[in-house]
Chain A
């Protein structure tokens, strides 16, 4: 699939366009480049693009607004690649509908990992901007927000988010530890290296259901997420 994947780079800096294109082409991606969002629109109307790498600060329309527009009109995964790189910008980017937010400077390995993971998710229909609800809780995976039934934000680690995501994507089914570990593999799970059991017990504590009300332990098999899920 990598060989066929067509990636559009939108960045006003020619140097970035050329080094990123070179790097992606070196790994068998097809690469198109646009210097602003108008050029991006033109290309999108002519070509079937699998993924857009979008800069934020550009002359004319900025990347965030273009990203919101893409989310409405196209079903193309977007990776933001921006010099605006702190937690705040990330949230802004993800709220605009980006699948992944990568700060500049990034190195080629990171970019490749993100591009591959995003393409894989898109292929399996798992987009990261899902928002789901269960038992009064709501969770937004894009902005990493878990809100309890009284409207209070509860903080989770990246690892806990990954586990929670795996659970809410497959509720009321037994998930083995291996399945949970598999789900956890991805570019955004660097810190996810503790045993699954630990993550699950932490998650139970944060969901204020320390026993098996929410997440039931199935002996010798794994875990099962009990509540039913409402997509939002």
Chain B
């Protein structure tokens, strides 16, 4: 990436090894004794000034004429023309071709405003006091180049860091989206499809991923629809049975009624689960603590031990029936398996947290996650009198996830289980 920017910079700002100056700039520097642009001025004693190199006599004379000075008071010096054998590192390179216009006899026609000096040159002018004022490009060309290089490097780094960050995130965003989508898909099959953007390979992978997720959710939907249909269809004959049993006499009748109630509870659990996780109900702003209190009071009325700790009201947008099922399941689990429930409702950052602690025997660590699988039941609850059919926690998780939150179980340090639900506010 950095290379790319360097190349770009080179193309945009080609190296200006040959600084050029106009005659006017040179004149200004020689007359006023102050730096003009990249021209540097210094004053030296006569001893330090070499005699005029005969090679550049013509140039000196022409320049003196243009500057309106006596040729004797002007010395022009150039770095030695580099031959291939002796490129002097300390002097850098200059292009003698740039000097040629000055040599040329017709240079009198050159406009002094645009006429350019370039390369590594020095022009010395003797002042009134006998000292010499020397004007030349800043330091050496090499130093200049180094200075520029440092500037480029700085600019490059300054540009490159945010650019590299942008490009890196441009490249990695789709990948991160992918991993997040896969994670969400594992929890909620009805996640919206991935957005098709980014590099072509990613777009094509995203398309495949979307197709896979669509098929997966289609497959699950079909099975759900089948289960729903069966559950529904069983209800009508079950109702007839319930009415017919009414006419029966003897102990068989009570047992038959019990069986019917059990079947009815199972069917209800299946249908409630399916209906809740479809989650097409509108969201409604509601107060969470009153919901928890409502469920807790109903459980307390049934004689269960349950405490809700005091705290602030918390309002969030949610599906009221889904949330009610969620917390009813967790609280009834706590009182059924844990003997009691202690509930806390509080705010943590931008989330509402609901913790439900029980005093039961807890679960093996490898069960804490498995219990959220539909139809999974821990061995000790196989007995349906307390066990249900294993849809409660699956419902809990799917409602929480559908609200953009999560639900987990953890073993508490001392004893019992803590159910923790986080819902975004």
Residues in A lying within 8 Å of B, measured CB to CB = 13, 15-16, 19-20, 22-23, 57, 83-89, 91, 103-108, 148, 151-160, 191, 193-194, 202, 205-206
Contacts and interface: CB of A to CB of B under 8 A. Distances in A.
A16 B236 contact: yes
Interface residues of B, number: 40
Q: Which of B243, B275, B291 has the most CB of A within 10 A?
A: B243
B275 A88 contact: yes
Contacts of A57: 232
Contacts of A91: 321
Given A86-B272, A88-B281, A91-B321, A155 B239 contact: no
A107 B260 contact: yes
A103 B275 CA distance: 15
Contacts of B321: 87-88, 91
Contacts of B320: 153, 155
A151 B302 CA distance: 31
B290 A20 contact: no
Contacts, number: 109
Contact of A105 (B241, B275, B276, B302): B241
Contacts of A152: 285-287, 315
B392 to A, nearest CB: 14
Contacts of B40: none
7 contacts: A22-B243, A85-B271, A88-B276, A152-B286, A157-B298, A157-B301, A159-B301
A160 B298 CA distance: 10
Contact of A15 (B232, B236, B272, B276): B236
Interface string B217-250: 0000000000000001101111111111010000
**Candidate in B290, B293, B297, B324 with the most chain A CB atoms within 10 angstroms:** B290
Interface string B320-350: 1100110000000000000000000000000
Interface of B: 232-233, 235-244, 246, 257, 260, 263-264, 268, 271-272, 275-276, 281, 284-287, 290-291, 293-294, 297-298, 301-302, 315, 320-321, 324-325
B286 A155 contact: yes
Contacts of B325: 87
A89 B258 CA distance: 25
Given A91-B321, A151-B285, A108 B242 contact: yes
A147 B271 CA distance: 28
Q: Which 10 A-B pairs have CB atoms at the shortest separation, nearest pair first?
A: A19-B243, A153-B286, A105-B239, A105-B238, A83-B235, A155-B291, A155-B294, A104-B235, A87-B321, A104-B239
